[in-house]
Structure 1
Amino acid sequence: MARQLFLQPHLSPTIEKLERYEFAKIWASTSYHLSLQLALHQAVRIPGIGTFAVVRKRVALSEQDLVIVERPVFRPEKAVVQDHELRYGCKDFPGHQDFEQLPYAEIASENAVSEGTVELYMERTTHLFHACVENGQNVAIIWRDVGMLIVQGKDMKMRFYLHFLERLNGTGKMLQALLEMPEMRDSVISRHDTAASQTSSGRVIVLPWYQLETVPKMPALIDLKGCVKGKGDGLWCEPAPAANLCARDQCRNPRAGFP
């Protein structure tokens, strides 16, 4: 029955609203569990997309001050890069490691749907991602608790949210050392940044909602104190995430429907 959701071109307004809300909740749970597994140092493979992991690096703040940082990394599947001739740099991904899958059964239980429905939504997102890349469109997959994977032309880049890096490293020396690493200088964004602002054209298809997002390019810059510099010279710091927001409120645009 769940597979028919994407085969019916015309659903009643009530069913369409329910479907969008259900999808928003499921994706919010998916994002949360991805961040949780990474915080527990479990590498996570998302079929058709790639694998996330966390590596530990010894970084020198000074000649006598060494810290060990927790750095998230992403490696796309070889087939994704080869089939679409994408460019992606990943030099220090841990090898010979056990990879976990997202806990589909737990995500399904949290949202009172079947495990097959969760898998169907994931397959749909993966299919749309490949279709957009094949058509030469800018595309971004958003995980609100982790970051966003962006393909612009032939370039693929994973950018991680500052609040996720803080979850891994805290807000002290570890975070400072991580942000100063050359590998992270163009890989950190604020939760307030949009996917479109990370592209030169200011246009991108945002997944999993399959929504065209356009915005004038005005990227925010994050300083080493965790503050964001936007228009003008003012600085503002990210507020702490609200603990009790529902999944619909936490998703970027739960009102955006399916194509």
Structure 2
Amino acid sequence: MEDLGPQMLPTLRKLSLDDVIRIWAAMSEYTQQTLLMNQAVRIPGIGTFLVVEQQILDVGYSDVTVARPVFLLSETLADVHGLIFTQDNIPDDSAIAKLNYLQIATETDFPQRTVKGCVKEIAFSFCSCLAKRHNAELVFQDLGILVVQGKELQMRFYQNFLKSLDWTGKLLQTFLREVQVSLASPPHMEAGLCI
């Protein structure tokens, strides 16, 4: 953050680390709750989270429909930084919610403008790391970790989040068996930008 200059991150520079973590954690919680309502959420400058229905072959060799989380990286971000990632398509009937900065502001007791600035500046900081070819991790509390190593990007969802999407456990069992999704263990910190 030091080499970005004070004019590049005015909101983050005014907030304490605890304040930034609190805002990012509330944004992550909003994203998770919106996904659980089967709506997609676009994080400006980063990408879109959504839940898609997928037919899987259960251990008993019968087809089962499960809800699978997907992260779609912003195409602009991928193109600019030459990132390699698996690109799924957003189903035509998917409702994409914008971040509700007012709701996040209400939950954190910060002005809406501060919340919006914080989220956008974290996204900008993450993109700056990518521009410098740094490996980076962006933690979404209780949801997962967006990991960039070299030019490869991967969203690693937490097991508890997968269980909250599919209480039968078939989704988690299938993904563990077929390694179609990367799982992460929650980090020691609550939420934030881990670089």
TM range (shorter): 0.7 to 0.9
Cross-structure match for 2:107: 110
Identity of aligned residues (%): 32
Opposite residue 142 of structure 1, the aligned amino acid is V
Cross-structure match for 1:255: none
Q: Secondary structure at the match of 2:66?
A: strand
Q: Secondary structure at the match of 1:57?
A: strand
> Whose helix proportion is higher, 1 or 2?
2
14, 32, 43: which one aligns with 1:46: 43
177, 181, 185: which one aligns with 1:180: 177
The count of aligned residue pairs is: 186
Structure number with bigger Rg: 1
Deviation at 1:73, TM superposition (A): 0.4
Deviation at 1:31, TM superposition (A): 1.0
Residues 154 and 173 from structure 1, CA distance in 2 versus in 1: closer, same or farther, beyond 3 angstroms?
closer
d(CA) in 1 for partners of 2:172, 2:153: 25
Deviation digits for residues 225-246 of structure 1, max 9, x if unmatched? Answer: xxxxxxxxxxxxxxxxxxxxxx
Aligned runs of 1:88-237 on 2, under 5 Å? Answer: 88-91=85-88, 93-95=90-92, 97-170=94-167, 172-184=169-181, 187-192=182-187, 208-209=192-193, 212=195
Deviation at 1:7, TM superposition (A): 5.4
Residues 7 and 57 from structure 1, CA distance in 2 versus in 1: closer, same or farther, beyond 3 angstroms?
closer
Residues 4 and 86 from structure 1, CA distance in 2 versus in 1: closer, same or farther, beyond 3 angstroms?
closer
Residues 103 and 143 from structure 1, CA distance in 2 versus in 1: closer, same or farther, beyond 3 angstroms?
same
Q: Does the alignment pair 1:58 with 2:55?
A: yes
24, 28, 52: which one aligns with 1:27: 24
Where has structure 1 moved over 4 Å in runs of 4 or more? Answer: 3-8
d(CA) in 1 for partners of 2:176, 2:166: 11
Q: What is the CA RMSD across the aligned residues, in angstroms?
A: 2.4
Opposite residue 75 of structure 2, the aligned amino acid is K
Q: For structure 1, list consecutive stretches of 5 or more residues without a partner in the other structure.
A: 9-15, 195-206, 213-259
- The answer to whether the 8 Å contact 2:145/2:184 transfers is no
- The answer to whether the 8 Å contact 1:67/1:177 transfers is no
d(CA) in 1 for partners of 2:67, 2:44: 24
Of residues 85-94 and 29-38 in structure 1, the stretch that sits farther from structure 2 once superposed is 85-94
Residues 129 and 172 from structure 1, CA distance in 2 versus in 1: closer, same or farther, beyond 3 angstroms?
closer
